[in-house]
Chains A and B, each alone.
Chain A
Amino acid sequence: MKFAVEERDGYTEVAAEGRLNMVSAPMLRSAVADAIGAGHRLLVLNLGGTDFMDSSGLGALVGCLKAARQAGGDLRIANVGEQVQMVLKLTSMDRILTPYSNPEDAFRDA
């Protein structure tokens, strides 16, 4: 899995590309932890390139959300593919991690 962190207007975008599974989940956690450590608070995870997520991946997403909130910020997800949405829906975590259609909209209300 590959990550790209870019500062945008009012938020920081973390683009994750590849399969979010048991192998890559710790990488996502550390990529987001690094971004928080570097002072970024409002994070948008762009999952446009994430075509698959398993339970370990979901654990990592929620872990990242908690890390962002603990640092006084927030994390939102955008550009979420069908399979990832399905996992969020099955586990009713779509209520906590609401998918936004694109990164620019994720913090529009903030």
Chain B
Amino acid sequence: MTRRALIIEDNPDIRRLLEATLTRQGFEATSAGAGYPALESARRITPDLITLDLGLPDLDGLEVCRTLRVFSNAYILVVTARAAEADRLEALERGADDVLAKPFSPRELQARVEALFRRPRAASVPESELQTAARVQQGLLPERAPNVPGYEVAGACHPSRSVGGDFFDWESDGSSLAFTLADAMGKGMGAALVAATARAVLRPGRLEQGPGALVGAAARALEPDLLRLGSFVTLLHTRLDASTGDFTYVDAGHGLGLLIHPDGMWERLTTSGPPIGLLQGAEWTAHDSRLEPGGALLALSDGLLEAFPRVDEALNAAVAAVLEAPDADSAVRAIIDLDSTGQDDTTAIVVRRSRSGAGVASG
């Protein structure tokens, strides 16, 4: 099997030298000149070896090293001009396997690489387990939208890694619709475990109970664990009466729920209190509003914000996507596509009420 190498180096001359040296050694070499593209490549090509320069234009090389270690089991060889003892020690502490000082001799590089590959590697996170976790997490998302006459409902969740802390969920009996969008702190497996726990406690009785009671009970169940773990969950939970469009919601430190009016004007939903698990004994106030025919409700996760310089720009773009899309499904797809960075989990739910008479109170 061909061994794959990822070269992270911003100096083009040194990059070419590394490419040539490692290619001669039988590696299939890929290069990145900065930290963010390097992390993206590392996820995509799952290299066996990574050479890492510490002086990168966008991210600190030591931070890149530690982030790589979260998901990659590659041998990391730091090749740096910053090779004072303190830097070498810090690199090794952050998960590097070896440090080579610049300027380096290509022969020494090759010898160090061969030495690394002689050491057996204990897999820290077997890839197959991560893949299983990703499949299970996808399986915990709703398979299809509920059928609510007079409404279109759609949602999607794109984790930045194999698994993530975002999720959405919904349930309807045709006359009531309950839906939740939540975001557990952090990224990756830890966030995914917290998200799965939160999802479970937010389900029972969500069509019968109001959001205030439901979120209050869920928070009481989650709080001791979250406080202990130093984690938290933000969420928007809504219950809508399909016949009138009246809805009640709780926004627990989430801040990204929008009500779009039939004329295209929009407003942010009001906060109900802090995220769940950050402050002991917190309480949440439910709020009421109404979704008019021709209007839409939109819930987002904060992953979208990273693709825009300002919150309002992100929200305007998301609203425009909802207004321009022919249906809720394509609206959700358009919103997910707005996040080109893929740095964070991105999730969206769109609930559109049709303009026609369907869904309007008959009595």
How many residues of A sit at the interface, in one of the four size bands? 20 to 34
B165 → chain A, closest Cβ, in Å?
8
Q: Which residues of A contact B254 (CB under 8 A)?
A: 90-91
Q: Using an 8 Å CB-CB cutoff, how does the interface string of A30-58 with B read, 1 for contact, 0 for none? A: 00000000000000000000000011101
A81 in contact (CB, < 8 A): no
> Which residues between 50 and 103 of chain A lie within 8 Å of chain B, taking CB atoms?
54-56, 58-59, 62-63, 86-87, 89-93, 95-96
Alpha-carbon gap, A24 to B254, bound state (A): 23
- How does the 8 Å CB contact mask read for A1-31 relative to B, with 1 for contact and 0 for none? 1000000000000000011001110000000
A93 in contact with B253 given A18-B60, A59-B231 (CB within 8 Å): yes
**Is B18 part of the binding interface, using a Cβ–Cβ cutoff of 8 Å?**
no
Which residues on A sit within 8 Å (CB–CB) of B70? 22
A22 partner, pick from B187, B232, B256, beta carbons under 8 A: B187
Contact A56 B185 (CB under 8 A): yes
Which one of A1, A18, A90, A95 has the greatest number of beta carbons of chain B within 10 Å? A90
| Of the residues B188, B273, B302, contact of A55 by C-beta under 8 Å | B302
Chain A to chain B contacts (Cβ below 8 Å), 11 pairs: A18-B60, A19-B63, A58-B185, A58-B278, A62-B278, A86-B311, A87-B302, A90-B302, A92-B253, A92-B271, A93-B253
Contact A92 B230 (CB under 8 A): no
Q: Which A residues lie at the B interface, using CB under 8 A? A: 1, 18-19, 22-24, 54-56, 58-59, 62-63, 86-87, 89-93, 95-96
When chains A and B are docked, how far (Å) is the Cα of A85 from the Cα of B275?
16
CA of A86 to CA of B344 in the docked complex: distance in angstroms? 16
In terms of DSSP, what is the predominant structure of the interface of chain B? loop
Among A18, A63, A90, A91, the residue within 8 A (CB) of B311 is A90
* Minimal Cβ-Cβ distance residue in A for B183: A55
Q: In the complex the two chains form, is B230's CB within 8 Å of A63's CB?
A: yes
B278 x A93 contact (CB < 8 A): yes
CB neighbours of B165 from chain A (8 A): 55
A90 CB to nearest chain B CB (Å)? 3
Closest to A24 in B: B63
Tell me whether A90 and B255 are in contact (CB under 8 A). Answer: yes
Contact indicator A59/B278 (Cβ below 8 Å): yes
